[in-house]
Structure 1
């Protein structure tokens, strides 16, 4: 499978949002209606707040995005693809934090505000730099956080197993954002038992990170679910060879041995 819009991610030739819309089209060819709806809403918000600036404009946009338009976090503990794919999130007004973050970032851009995606533990945050100070937006409900609040949240999530450093809050590059987004989409497709679509997502991830042993392992799992055992064997063997000390490698070794053993035929 080839995905031209993913082939130059390392050079960030295409805007991230355009790549995300292309990903939606790969699974829903009728998604252009939702894309048009989103940009119409973004234009209306931008016009409504064109007299505001800086932090005041950001807070007004957040209020409209979450309270007037009704965007909210997914209510399910384990979500399906409709909570990840941007066109579905626009239609249902509900999605995972990473999807909400990316839509809010684009809405703000339409209004002339630059928000940066931060690869924060748990789920991404958005950073807004204004008057020599950084503010952070939690995409779940639009809560605006300042420095100390972000540090406390980091320590809670990591249980202080990592040392906090502001160097971690630099803008995430396109590859990092897309890998995180596609990983969520892969898990959602597997949850939906949409294994053919999950296989497409794994191939998208491999287009970004070729020969990644963990993605090849996951491809093996999806192929196994699609009854393509020999192809799954090849992928599992590759993973075991590349990551022999990974906890899942021992289980896969046993599975491969079971598949290789002669099957007794009863008469």
Structure 2
């Protein structure tokens, strides 16, 4: 079955659709800007070149000629997940720039695929029997030795990358990671209305306890204590061994105190 390299980009579109009201207008703008990038890339990249040269030229276009970049000072800002912002200011984070490269790779039929590397999205180039890894932070190739260093930095000295962690990403796992990243960004910046709309859309698709937990946390921030209490109690009941359950139990105690002091809180 054909691997859908556009699938991650489509998650960005869906996310923006849910949290903003101007989706119809933005959808046209996003489609127009991405179409323009595809046309520019096709003009600049000859189909007669080797696959490796075509990929190198695509990365030069994205990072050098078009100026896409990551800002380390604003790495986790939610705006780095908003496609209109990313396409207007050419600024994002590795997962958002990676999604754009994957979209272009699909349009140009280039063998670039996402990798669910634990620390951030990595891109995998497959040319015959050769595999090259690309860091979407800057478009440069990244060695397996460097990836091993990043892995040990995350999991401790001596931890070894498992071969499957460098294979093409399982798309459902990729989507789950994107969803958690998006939720975390909105919740951290207290964009409560947008976070609630996005999480509610996820709950309607699946009764994943982690989405219900996060909805409860947002509802607590919004002052909807009785409903938040139900969601958080559901999570603790379903996932008692999860490390966050200890924190949630503390939250439950605090919420019950809030309810006692504010019996007419929002339901």
Greater Cα shift, 40-49 or 188-197? 188-197
TM-score w.r.t. length of structure 2: 0.83
Is the 2:225–2:259 Cα contact (8 Å) retained in structure 1? Answer: no
Provide the residue aligned with 1:224 in structure 2: 220
TM-score w.r.t. length of structure 1: 0.83
Provide the residue aligned with 1:239 in structure 2: 235
Is the 1:43–1:110 Cα contact (8 Å) retained in structure 2? Answer: no
Which structure 2 segments of 5+ residues have no match? none
Which structure 1 segments of 5+ residues have no match? 1-11
RMSD, aligned CA: 2.5
The reply on whether 1:173 has 2:170 as its aligned counterpart is yes
Greater Cα shift, 157-166 or 134-143? 157-166
Provide the residue aligned with 1:20 in structure 2: 12
Provide the residue aligned with 2:87 in structure 1: 90
Equivalence map 1:91-170=2 (5 Å): 91-160=88-157, 162-170=159-167
Distance 1:124 1:69, change over 3 A: same
Is the 2:119–2:150 Cα contact (8 Å) retained in structure 1? Answer: no
1:152 match: secondary structure: helix
Q: How many residues align?
A: 251
Task: Provide the rounded CA distance (Å) in 2 between the counterparts of 1:179 and 1:256.
Answer: 28
Q: Give the drift of 1:114.
A: 2.2
Is the 1:179–1:205 Cα contact (8 Å) retained in structure 2? Answer: no
The reply on whether 1:204 has 2:201 as its aligned counterpart is yes
Q: Give the drift of 1:162.
A: 3.7
Q: Give the drift of 1:167.
A: 1.8
Task: Provide the rounded CA distance (Å) in 1 between the counterparts of 2:204 and 2:124.
Answer: 28
Q: Give the drift of 1:168.
A: 1.5
Q: Give the drift of 1:57.
A: 1.3
